[in-house]
Amino acid sequence: MSKIHVSTTVNGDPVDFLCDPRETLLDCLRDKLALTGAKEGCGTGDCGACSVEVDGRLVCSCLMLGAEANGKEIATVEGIADGDTLHPLQEKFIDYAALQCGICTPGILVAAKNLLEKNPDPTEEEVRYWLAGNLCRCTGYDKIIKAVMDTAADMREAS
């Protein structure tokens, strides 16, 4: 099967790759661009471990074809920190032990960052429903929710 040439932008860098029409954006990020931060936990859009932003919109990269990324702006967990300065969410996740095994963490950070950009002052319920598409099996979510709420509070104070 002939391959499709895709030109896109990932974390601000222009990139090109060839993909099979059946390959997902997640496959392309991981296998062609060596960006393995996004994880495949289910391949059916149920776990959110593969969350990325496409033109600012939060999507499961396992549900989008690589070919559809042409001309888009993709943002992954690898682009959240500013050089060696972590994003406040990343700092807070470490401080609060909001991760145990860490496999869901990239997707949750991408989703939480997307939330705070849209809603800098979310209620606990809003955070819980926003992250309802990101499964975590280790933490019971308690420390994740607290980390997101407290990051939001800190960022409001700083702005």
Partner 1 sequence: MALDDDLKKDGFTFVGTRPKRPDGLDKVTGRAKFGADMVAPGMLHGAILRSPHAHARIKGIDTSKAEALEGVKAVVTRADFPDTVQHKPGMAGEMWNVLENVMAGEKALYDGHAVAAVAATSALIAKDALKLIEVDYEVLPHVTDVDKAMAEGAPVIREGSADRSVPEGLHPNVVRYHESGHGDVEAGFAKADLVMEDTYKTEATHQGYIEPHACLGMLGADGKGELWCTTQGHFYFQKVCAAVLGLETSQLRVTASEIGGGFGGKTTVFMEPVSLALSRKANRPVKMVMSRSEVFRATGPTASASMDIKIGMTKDGTITAAKGTYRLQGGAFPGAPADFTAMCGFAPYCLENVLQIGYDVMANRPKQAAYRAPGAPMGAFAVESVIDEMCNKLGLDPVEVRLKNAARDGTKSSYGPTWDAIGQVACLEAVKAHPHYSTPLKEGQGRGIASGFWFNHGGETSVSLALSEDGTAQISVGTPDIGGSRASMALMAAEVLGIPYENIRVTIADTATLGYNDVSHGSRVTYASGLATIKAARDAVEKLKGRAAAEWGIDPDAVTWEDGYAKPSGPNAGEFEPMHITKITGKMGRTGGPISGHFEATPEGAGVSFGTHIVDAEVDPETGKTSIIRYTVVQDAGKAIHPTYVEGQFQGGAAQGIGWALNEEYIYGEDGRLQNSIFLDYRIPVASDLPMIDTVIVEVPNPGHPYGVRGVGETGIVPPLAAVANAVSNAAGVRLKELPMSPPRILKALKDQKG
Complex with partner 1: residue 64 or 147, whichever CB lies closer: 147
Burial class (CB in 10 A: 0-12, 13-18, 19+), 21: exposed
SS3 95: helix
Q: Tell whether residue 144 is a contact of partner 1 (CB under 8 A).
A: yes
Q: How many residues bind partner 1 (CB under 8 A)?
A: 59
Per CB under 8 A, does 90 bind partner 1? yes
Place of tokens 């776990």: 47
- Contact between 29 and 15 under an 8 Å Cβ cutoff? The reply is no
Q: How far is the CB of 123 from partner 1 (least distance, A)?
A: 12
Name which position in 24, 51, 76, 114 contacts partner 1 (CB under 8 A).
76
* 19 binding partner 1? (CB under 8 A): no
Tell the burial category of 142 from Cβ atoms under 10 Å away from its Cβ (0-12, 13-18, 19+). Answer: exposed
**Residues 22-61 within binding reach of partner 1 (CB under 8 A):** 22-23, 27, 30, 35-44, 46-47, 49
Q: Which amino acid is at 81?
A: A
Q: Verify binding: residue 18, partner 1, rule CB under 8 A.
A: no
Stretch that binds partner 1, among 64-72, 76-84, 113-121, 150-158 (CB under 8 A): 76-84
CB 37 within 8 A of CB 78: yes
Nearer to partner 1, 55 or 95 (CB): 95
Instruction: Enumerate residues 6+ apart whose C-beta is below 8 A from 118.
Output: none
* 98 closest CA partner among 138, 39, 128, 154: 138
Q: Tell me which residues touch partner 1 (CB under 8 A).
A: 20, 22-23, 27, 30, 35-44, 46-47, 49, 76-78, 80-81, 86, 90, 93-97, 99-106, 109, 125, 127-129, 131-146
